[in-house]
Amino acid sequence: MALKKTLTIAGSDTSAGAGMQADLKTFQEHNTYGMVALTAVVAMDPETWSHDVTALPIELLDKQLKTALSIKPDAIKTGMLGTEEIIGRAAQAFKDSDAEYFVVDPVMVCKGEDEVLNPGNTEAMIKELLPIATVVTPNLFEAGQLSGLGRLTSVEAMKTAAQIIHDRGAQHVVIKGGKALEGEEAVDLYYDGETFTLLTTDKFQSSYNHGAGCTFAAAVTANLANGLTPREAVINAKAFVASAIKNGWKMNDFVGPVQHGAYNKVEKIDVQTKEV
Ligand code: ADP
């Protein structure tokens, strides 16, 4: 059977745990044909690991998108977009494509940096990306921004945020409690417009988890391309990333990436589901 084709519109993380590198590795682990349209290049200072982000000229993104769309991706994912202009281009790319699925990972900060990439981006994501998203995968912080509720600290607050984000057009919403929500377990909330479902695994070490968010959203994208329902796609993606986190490794004194291939090569992890 022909491979399904997956496209990420994202930045390059030179250290390769996150960004388009995480997406490509994850697409490959799911046996899809992964492609990239690059938005920016992130390099790190070896002494301090401070991030240096260089955006690519918009004309270069346009050319890449033209190439990628001509290859007809089945599913498209967004990662770090960085500017309102690029957010608009990513939305247009999905509309211009024949892709059936659009997964929006609403990246707002570059991990390791505290500064929100650009506050105007949140408005652009709400206006341009949410209305066409098949699945949106905010973490707690991003869900607080996309819903306008600010800091979220409980499952009840996550439910309210998911409802608002769904009302803003996203068909399926996963709010990742992840390591930020207190407790022994890593809890995400999935909402399909009708039912709220908690997805839970053990909480594993959080020191070497660089790239967890990208890996999760890329797994959702590949699962959708491969024909899983959004619900199955999200549950399987959580199992995939849980294994990747559990088997994360120390790269240097600053960072440790997830192990993208751990689900297929090391161990499978069960995800508990519960309606709330
Ligand atoms: P990060 O905060 O590293 O960006 P996310 O919040 O994007 O991670 O989470 C990505 C996925 O990984 C979610 O499904 C989340 O629940 C899961 N996750 C995050 N941290 C852990 C952990 N320490 N143990 C198990 N799963 C985790």
Mean pLDDT on 241-246:
98
Q: What distance in Å separates the CA atoms of residue 117 and residue 35, rounded to the nearest whole number?
A: 24
- Residue 133, both tokens: 């998203």
Q: Tell me the C-alpha to C-alpha distance, in Å, between residue 159 and each of 79, 96, 138, 177, 238.
A: 24, 32, 13, 11, 19
* C-beta of residue 270 within 8 angstroms of C-beta of residue 244: no
| Length of the chain as a residue count | 276
pLDDT in tens, 86-117: 999 999 999 999 999 999 999 997 544 455 65
Ligand 1 probe mutation, 181, 216, 270, 273, most atoms within 8 A of CB = 216
Mean pLDDT on 179-191:
90
Q: What percent of the chain has pLDDT over 90?
A: 91
pLDDT in tens, 29-54: 999 999 999 999 999 999 999 999 99
Can you give the pTM of this predicted structure? Answer: 0.97
Atom number of ligand 1 nearest to Cα 213: 7
Q: How does DSSP classify residue 132?
A: G
Does ligand 1 come within 6 angstroms of the Cβ of 245? Answer: yes
Q: What distance in Å separates the CA atoms of residue 137 and residue 107, rounded to the nearest whole number?
A: 9
Predicted pLDDT at 110? 56
Report the candidate in 223, 222, 265 with the shortest Cα–Cα distance to residue 247: 265
Q: What distance in Å separates the CA atoms of residue 124 and residue 91, rounded to the nearest whole number?
A: 10
Count the helix, strand and coil residues of the chain and give each as a percent rounded to the nearest 5: 40, 20, 40
- Nearest residue CA, atom 16 of ligand 1? 178
Report the candidate in 186, 176, 103, 187 with the shortest Cα–Cα distance to residue 140: 176
With tokens 């659009």, the residue in question is: 102
| 169 vs 119, higher pLDDT | 169
Does ligand 1 come within 6 angstroms of the Cβ of 160? Answer: no
Predicted pLDDT at 112? 45
Among 59-73, 103-117, 162-176, which is the least confidently predicted range? 103-117
Atom number of ligand 1 nearest to Cα 210: 3
Predicted pLDDT at 109? 74
pLDDT in tens, 16-31: 999 999 999 999 999 9
Q: Tell me the C-alpha to C-alpha distance, in Å, between residue 164 and each of 69, 88, 147.
A: 31, 22, 6
* C-beta of residue 243 within 8 angstroms of C-beta of residue 267: yes
Q: Tell me the C-alpha to C-alpha distance, in Å, between residue 97 and each of 41, 52, 107, 241.
A: 25, 32, 22, 28
Report the candidate in 186, 183, 187 with the shortest Cα–Cα distance to residue 197: 187
Predicted pLDDT at 113? 47
- Nearest residue CA, atom 27 of ligand 1? 178
Q: What percent of the chain has pLDDT over 70?
A: 97
Does ligand 1 come within 6 angstroms of the Cβ of 178? Answer: yes
Q: How far is the CA of 195 from the centre of ligand 1 (A)?
A: 22
Mean pLDDT on 135-156:
96
Does ligand 1 come within 6 angstroms of the Cβ of 139? Answer: yes
Q: Where are the beta strands (DSSP E) in 14-73?
A: 33-44, 51-55
